[in-house]
Amino acid sequence: MERRKFITTVGFGVVAASIPTKILGAKTMTTFEDFITKGNEFVFPQLAYSYDSLEPYIDKMTMEIHYDRHHRGYFTKFMNDVEGSDLKDKSFSEIFAGVSKLSAGVKNNGGGFYNHTLFWNNMSPEKSKPSKELLKEIESSFGSFEKFKETFSNAAATRFGSGWAWLVMTADKKLAVGSTPNQENPLMDVSSFQGAPLLTLDVWEHAYYLKYQNKRADYIEAFWNVVNWDEVNRRFER
Ligand code: MN3
């Protein structure tokens, strides 16, 4: 990777001056629990690293299409879905906790935007490691770090069709691994897998098909090379 291409700000390169400091100051996406705030203008955020910087694990063209078309599409549609509604006053946690009573658009586009944002932020071209505290928790929950990787990879590999694999902190403060279909996530009341997201992997075909075709397992294996553990550590501490 070319160092110069890596924008050192973690998280979003948000540019609009009209965005309040609590959003501008957001270092990571999990702090966007209060992202939807009344009366503010939202801009589509820039990726914190260049499209080619996750090569050879995730290729430039996949990143470009995935970020600039898929992700942007979810963002734009979600902004339209919440336009003029009281959802703009609510956090993502609140929206997702009652998503079964909302439109399919809010669930699909809001989920799409939120899930992808976590995903971009839990990847990085920079090498990092789980913190001592997280590692200890992983070892006590899964037996070993390798066992955890195996469990997570298996959740990602066996998710039928499109969806996401997750490492979460459950309500009773335990680590758990699972998966969700389509754009559902573990914060949604409709999800059978519940918890606060720490790490996620997109296993929709658009996330890997250009480079890996039907070899989802190879994509999952490659993913471990670009996990942003600094970000996972931060989410864990919170
Ligand atoms: Mn995707």
Q: Tell me: the pLDDT tens digits for 137-193?
A: 999 999 999 999 999 999 999 999 999 999 999 999 999 999 999 999 999 999 999
pLDDT over 70 (residue 17): no
pLDDT over 90 (residue 204): yes
Interval between CA 220 and ligand 1 midpoint (Å): 14
Higher pLDDT, 13 or 77: 77
Q: Are residues 228 and 142 in the same domain?
A: yes
Q: Are residues 97 and 136 in the same domain?
A: no
Interval between CA 181 and ligand 1 midpoint (Å): 12
Higher pLDDT, 116 or 7: 116
Interval between CA 143 and ligand 1 midpoint (Å): 30
Instruction: Say what the pLDDT of residue 86 is.
Output: 84
Instruction: Say what the pLDDT of residue 231 is.
Output: 95
Interval between CA 202 and ligand 1 midpoint (Å): 6
- Report the C-alpha gap between 30 and 238 in whole angstroms: 9
pLDDT over 60 (residue 87): yes
Number of domains observed in the structure of the chain: 2
Interval between CA 144 and ligand 1 midpoint (Å): 29
Average pLDDT over residues 51-74: 97
Interval between CA 200 and ligand 1 midpoint (Å): 11
- Say what the alpha-carbon torsion angle 125, 71, 113, 30 is, to the nearest 10 degrees: 20
Interval between CA 206 and ligand 1 midpoint (Å): 6
Instruction: Say what the pLDDT of residue 125 is.
Output: 97
Please report whether residue 87 resides in a domain.
Answer: yes
Sole residue written with tokens 């809001």: 110
Q: Are residues 8 and 108 in the same domain?
A: yes
Q: Which of 157, 144, 138, 158 is nearest to 198 (CA)?
A: 138
Q: How many CB atoms lie within 10 A of CB 132?
A: 9
Interval between CA 204 and ligand 1 midpoint (Å): 6
CATH value at residue 114:
1.10.287.990
Higher pLDDT, 22 or 224: 224
Interval between CA 63 and ligand 1 midpoint (Å): 10
Strand-pairing partners, residue 181, are 163
- Mean pLDDT, all residues of the chain: 85
Interval between CA 232 and ligand 1 midpoint (Å): 19
pLDDT tens for each residue of 93-130: 889 999 999 999 999 999 999 999 999 999 999 999 99
C-alpha distances (whole Å) from 104 to each of 19, 73, 107, 111, 112 are 27, 15, 5, 10, 12
Interval between CA 132 and ligand 1 midpoint (Å): 31
- Write out the DSSP string of the chain: --GGGS--SSS-----TTS-HHHHT--SGGGGGG---TT----PPPPSS-TTTTTTTS-HHHHHHIIIIIIHHHHHHHHHHHTTSGGGGS-HHHHHHTGGGS-HHIIIIIHHHHHHHHHHHTB-SS-----HHHHHHHHHHHSSHHHHHHHHHHHHHH--SSEEEEEEE-TTS-EEEEEEETT--TTSTT-SS-SEEEEEEE-SGGGTHHHHTT-HHHHHHHHTTSB-HHHHHHHHH-
Instruction: Say what the pLDDT of residue 232 is.
Output: 97
Instruction: Say what the pLDDT of residue 168 is.
Output: 98
The residue among 121, 150, 175 that closes a domain is 121
Q: Are residues 183 and 84 in the same domain?
A: no
Interval between CA 210 and ligand 1 midpoint (Å): 13
The domain in which residue 206 lies consists of 132-237
Interval between CA 65 and ligand 1 midpoint (Å): 10
Higher pLDDT, 79 or 37: 79
Instruction: Say what the pLDDT of residue 41 is.
Output: 55
Label residue 91 by pLDDT band (50, 70, 90).
confident
pLDDT over 50 (residue 25): no
- Report the C-alpha gap between 46 and 11 in whole angstroms: 9
- Report the C-alpha gap between 18 and 32 in whole angstroms: 16
Label residue 85 by pLDDT band (50, 70, 90).
confident
Please report whether residue 47 resides in a domain.
Answer: no
Query: What does pTM read for this prediction?
Result: 0.84
Comparing 20-34, 152-166, 167-181, 204-218, the range with the smallest average pLDDT is 20-34
Interval between CA 133 and ligand 1 midpoint (Å): 30
